[in-house]
Amino acid sequence: MKSRKHRFDFRGHIERCSPWVSSSKEKKRSRVCRGANIIPVILLVLGFSTPGQAEITSLDSANIDDVLNNAGVALVNFYADWCRFSQMLHPIFEEASNIVREEFPDTKQVVFARVDCDQHSDIAQRYRITKYPTLKLFRNGMMMKREYRGQRSVTAIADFIRTQQVDPVKEAQTAEELAAVDRSKRNIIAYFESKDSDNYRTYEKVANILRDDCTFLAAFGGVSAHERFSGDNLIYRPPGENAPDMVYLGSLTNFDLTYAWTQDKCVPLVREITFENGEELTEEGLPFLILFHVKEDVKSLETFQHEVARQLISEKGSINFLHADCDKFRHPLLHIQKTPADCPVVAIDSFRHMYVFPEFKDVSVPGKLRQFVLDLHSGKLHREFHHGPDPTESTPGQEVEEVASNPPESSFQKLAPSETRYTILSRDRDEL
C-alpha cells in the first residue's frame, strides 16, 4: 500500500515498542511482544545472519565513549530483546552493516553499533531513549539531533549511511559561483588559504553536523583571496536578497565556538513544521507555539519571528516556536474553527488541547504574546477554557458567572508516536 502523504498519522512503517511498562500493563506487553522469543529461531531457519556474523559493536559503559569518539559516523540501534519490533530489525540492521562495511571498510569511518537497553539502562537514560528500537546517528562522538526515521529495510539504511558520507562542503571554483548562491537558503561561506589546514578541518566537522540545516561552501587560494585580508574568514549569508552578511569573529580552530556560532545561524528560532519533520518535532516533548500563515505571506512571518525573539527568547527551552503553511495544515485550523482565509493565526498546541491567540495584530503589543505562553505554563489557559475566566476582585456577595467551555483537542499529537506504544510525559504539561 502506498503511503499517504498528507495525513497526520503517517508512521505506518515505523513500528516500535514502549520501554516503559507499568505493572498494570504487564499482560498487555506480553500480548504485544508475544512471539518475540521464537523470532530468532525463525530467522535462523530462514538463513538470516546471526549477531556473531555481522560486524556490529555491542556498546556498554566501558567502551561506548571510546567507540563513538573514534568513529566518523556511527549508527546505533537502541533495543530491547523482549520487543518483537527490535527482533524484526536485528537481521535487517546486520545485513545493512555488512553491505556498508564492503563499501567503507575503515572502522574509523563508519561503525554500526547497538545497545541492549535492558542490560544498560544507564546508557538508555543518558541518551533519553523512550522507544524501541531507536536508531541514533553519531558523528565523532556527538549525537545528532535527528535520529533515523526512514524505512526499515537493508537498502534504505545503507542508502542513509551513503548520504552521510557525502561531503557537505561544496567547493567554489570562481568568485561568480560564490556570488550566485541560492538566497532562499541559509548559506555558510568560508574563505581559506588552503584546504590542508586546521581551520578547514574544524569547518568541515561543523558542516558535517549541521549538513541538514545550512548550505556550506568553501573557496581556497586565489578564489578566496579577496575575502582574506586578515586571514581565513567565515560568513553567514541569510535568506533574502537584501539581507546583509554576518561575519564570524572567533577562532576557526576552536570547534566549540565555531559550532555554536554556526548552529545559531543555521537553526532558526522559529522553525517550519512539515509532514516530514512533524514526528521529530513532537518527540522533542515541548508544546508548540505556531503561526499559521499563507506561504506567500512573508510579512506576517517576519512579524512573528521578530516578536518571538523580542518577547520569548527566555522561553526557548520550554516551548517550540513554529510556523506552518495554512493550505497544508487545514486540519488543525478546522480544529480551532479557522480556515486558510482567516490566516495569519497564532495558536498553542499543548499536545492535549489547542488554544488560539485572540488577534494576530496584538502579537506586537509588548508582553502580550509572552503572557499567552506564560498562561499555558501556569495552567491558566487550560483552567479558563474548562471553567471560564479566573475570578477578579468583586464586591462581597457579588456572584461571578462561570462560563465553561471545552478547548479543541490537540491536532499535532497525531504526528507523534501513538500512546498505545509510548509514554510521553510532556503531554501533560498543561494539566499541571
- 3-34 residue pLDDT tens: 433 333 334 444 445 444 444 444 444 444 44
Please return the burial class of 280, using the count of CB atoms within 10 Å of its CB with bins 0-12, 13-18 and 19+.
middle
CA–CA separation, 113 and 407 (whole Å) = 45
Looking at residue 337, its pLDDT comes to: 92
Question: Which parts of the chain register pLDDT below 50?
Answer: 1-16, 18-52, 393-404, 419-432
Q: At 245, list the grid cell.
A: 552578511
DSSP reduced 3-state for 125? helix
The dotted CATH code for 23-164 is 3.40.30.10
Provide the residue ranges of all domains of the chain, joining segments of one domain with +: 23-164, 169-266, 270-431
Mean pLDDT over the full length of the chain: 81
DSSP 8-state symbol, 208: H
In the block, cell 486540519 appears at 331
Give residue-wise pLDDT tens across range 91-147. 999 999 999 999 999 888 999 999 999 999 999 999 988 888 999 999 989 999 888
Domains 169-266 and 270-431 alike in fold: yes
Q: Are 282 and 412 in contact (CB under 8 A)?
A: yes
User: What topology is assigned to 169-266 in CATH?
Assistant: Glutaredoxin (3.40.30)
Question: What secondary structure letter does DSSP report for 147?
Answer: P
CATH 3.40.30.10 fits 270-431, yes or no: yes
- What local confidence, expressed as pLDDT, does residue 384 receive? 67
Query: What's the CA gap between 49 and 423, in Å, rounded?
Result: 32
Q: ∠ CA 270-370-378 to the nearest 5 degrees?
A: 115
Sequence-distant (≥ 6) Cβ neighbours of residue 221 within 8 angstroms: 193, 194
